[in-house]
Amino acid sequence: MNWKLWLMSKIALAPTDSANRKQEKPRDLPQEVGRHLVVKLGHDPDWVWSLKYVRKSKDSSTKNVFDIRVFSPEEAVQNHAAIGDYDSLSGYPDLILFTGWWDKKNKQVMIQEVAM
């Protein structure tokens, strides 16, 4: 058998867009986001810094701008919710406390509280 795998087209080997987009796991709040929640929205700092967030790139052309959702990990555990990435939180809309975007490079934040 003479398969010549090294001659396969690069198009066939290129990852798809969905495979190229990496979904990220929940993280601690960035300084800019936490500061915005405490200073601008007036929430308790102890409560704010216990929250987690998930993010995804706003679009493929911008590397530093993310859509974010903020949630309480304690509430997620109480509701037996498995939060693995941004899209998995869509299945639990009652757990989303804040939603918006965050520009990592320019340190800009736009977050609004989700109406319950």
What is the distance between the alpha carbons of residues 13 and 28, in angstroms, rounded to a whole number? 35
Q: What mean pLDDT comes out for the span 16-41?
A: 79
Query: Helix, strand or coil for residue 38?
Result: helix
Query: Helix, strand or coil for residue 46?
Result: helix
Per-residue pLDDT of 47-98, as tens digits, reads 999 999 999 988 777 788 899 999 999 998 998 888 888 888 888 889 999 9
What is the distance between the alpha carbons of residues 110 and 68, in angstroms, rounded to a whole number? 10
Compute the residue count for the chain. Answer: 116
Query: 109 and 32 in contact (C-beta within 8 Å)?
Result: yes
Q: What is the pLDDT of residue 11?
A: 46
pLDDT at 16 exceeding the cut of 50? no
pLDDT at 33 exceeding the cut of 90? yes
* pLDDT more than 70, % of the chain: 79
- Specify the pTM: 0.76
